Amino acid sequence: MKLSEGIVINSIKYQETSKIITILTTNGIDSYYVKGGAKYKSKNFSYSNELTKIAFDYSKKNEESIKILTTGTILNNYSNIKQSFEKLNDCFILLEVLNALGKQITDYNLLYNFVCEILDLLDSTPYCPYYIVIFRLKLLYLLGVGPIFSRCVSCNSKTDLVGFAFEYGGVCCKKCVDGIEVLSKELTETLKYLYLCKLENFDLEIIKKFNVDIMLIQRFLDSYYEHFLGFKSKAKNVLDALKG
C-alpha cells in the first residue's frame, strides 16, 4: 500500500480525545479526523501534531463526510526547529499564512515542495531570519500577487528602473516615476534579490552588502500582504509583542 505524504499545518482538539488536523500535500490542503489523536499515550498522538511531515492513509464514508486517518507514520518531526525559539516563531508565521491563504493557491505541487525546502533549511542550518522573509516573498508569486521587478509597472520599459512603487506592486522607470513615491534603490534591490534567488544559492553575505535593516523588509511584507491580500498576521503581532 502506497501512503500519501504531507505536512500537518494545523491541529485542533475534537471532542475529548480526538483531533481534526489539516494536512498540506501535493494535491491540496484538506482536513482529517484522527481518533485518539489528543491522547498522549495514543499511537496516533505523535503524528497528529502541527509541524510534522507524515506518511498516511485515510478512509472516507462518502463525498460529504470528513476523511478519517487510518494509518500514519512520522517522516520528519523537525525536532531542531521545535528546540529553537527563533525557528519555531518563524514557523508559527509560516503555518498561519498557509492556513489563511493556502487554499487560494492552485499549484499545490510547487507549494508543497517549496514548504518542504524551507522547513528542511530551517531544521538543518543555523537560524537565519531571512528564510521566513524569502518564504513570504516567494509565496506572493504562488498567490498571484508577486511584486514586479523586471519592468516598469506603468509603461513596461525594462530600462532605467529606479525604485519600487508600493501602491502599484512593482518598479518604475525614470520616465514614469515623477509624482510616485518609491522605495529606496537599496531596499528595492534587496527585495528583488530575495524574491528571485534560489534557496540553494542564497548568500547572506550579499544581503549584508545591501545593508538594509531586516525590519524594513518585514514591514514591507506586512503592508504588502495587507494591501494586496487583506491578510494581517495575528501571530506576528503576538510574537513582536513578546520580543518587546
Does residue 106 share a domain with residue 59? Answer: no
The answer to whether residue 183 sits within a structural domain is yes
Indicate which CATH number applies to the domain containing 28.
Answer: 2.40.50.140
**Phi and psi for 121 in degrees, rounded to 5?**
-65, -45
- Other C-beta atoms lying within 10 Å of the C-beta of residue 123: 19
Please indicate, yes or no, whether residues 101 and 122 belong to a single structural domain of this protein: yes
Please check whether residues 143 and 31 belong to one and the same domain: no
Please report whether residue 70 resides in a domain. yes
Helix %, strand %, coil % of the chain (to 5):
45, 20, 35
> By percentage, how much of the chain surpasses pLDDT 70?
96
Q: Are residues 89 and 69 in the same domain?
A: no
pLDDT band for position 85 (50/70/90)?
very high
154 in a structural domain: no
- How far apart (Å, rounded) are the C-alpha atoms in residues 17 and 35? 7
pLDDT in tens, 151-163: 999 999 999 999 9
Is the same domain home to 69 and 100?
no
pLDDT reported for residue 240:
62
Question: Per the structure, how many domains does the chain have?
Answer: 2
Geometric angle at alpha carbon 236, from 235 and 242, rounded to 5°: 95
Closest-CA residue to 172 (of 187, 157, 190):
157
Domain with 132, as residue range(s), is 80-147+178-243
Other C-beta atoms lying within 10 Å of the C-beta of residue 62: 5
Same domain, yes or no: 193 and 114 = yes
- The residue among 39, 204, 231 whose CA lies nearest residue 143 is 231
pLDDT tier for residue 212 given thresholds of 50, 70 and 90: very high
Q: What pTM does this model have?
A: 0.91
